[in-house]
Amino acid sequence: MLDEFDKAHTSFHSAFYQLFDEGIYEDQNYHLNLKKSVIICTSNYKNLNEVQDHLGSAIYSRFDNIVQFNDLTDEAKQTIGTKIYDDLNDIYDNELSSKTYEKLTISFNECQSVREIKSLIEDTFALSAIKDMIENN
């Protein structure tokens, strides 16, 4: 997996022409046969035209398939946030107040990714635990 392939320098992309065509990567130090491998490249491009414009036709044409993901809907964010909250609530020994939980669920919609939602929930649990420790001492 080549995460955020779009952020690599274009000279880096050229190293993958042979790999994407033939399943072989070879240079003066290495010879790798990856013919039976699945190579996944992620990027933050918004659409296929942007991928082709930024990477260029030479590398773009070597991708067998491109899967485009859409932004999360508010409904999806709520479903994901609730699931993560329930999972983490079982782990943390600190119950959030109903007011805090309500504000938290409203904040899910401001997040752009699952990673952000999870961080928001974890941070909320952590801050709530610190607040409780301060108030009880």
18 compared with 67, residue with greater pLDDT: 67
Asked whether the predicted pLDDT for residue 92 surpasses 90, the reply is no
Question: Is residue 82 within 8 Å of residue 52, measured between CB atoms?
Answer: no
DSSP symbols for 88-118: HHHH-S-PPPHHHHHHHHHHHTT-SSHHHHH
Asked whether the predicted pLDDT for residue 119 surpasses 90, the reply is yes
pTM for the full predicted model: 0.67
pLDDT at 44: 87
Mean per-residue pLDDT, 104-124: 96
DSSP bridge partners of 31: 26
Residues 6+ positions from 84 with CB-CB distance below 8 Å:
114, 117, 118, 121
pLDDT at 99: 94
Q: What are the domain boundaries of the chain?
A: 5-60, 74-135
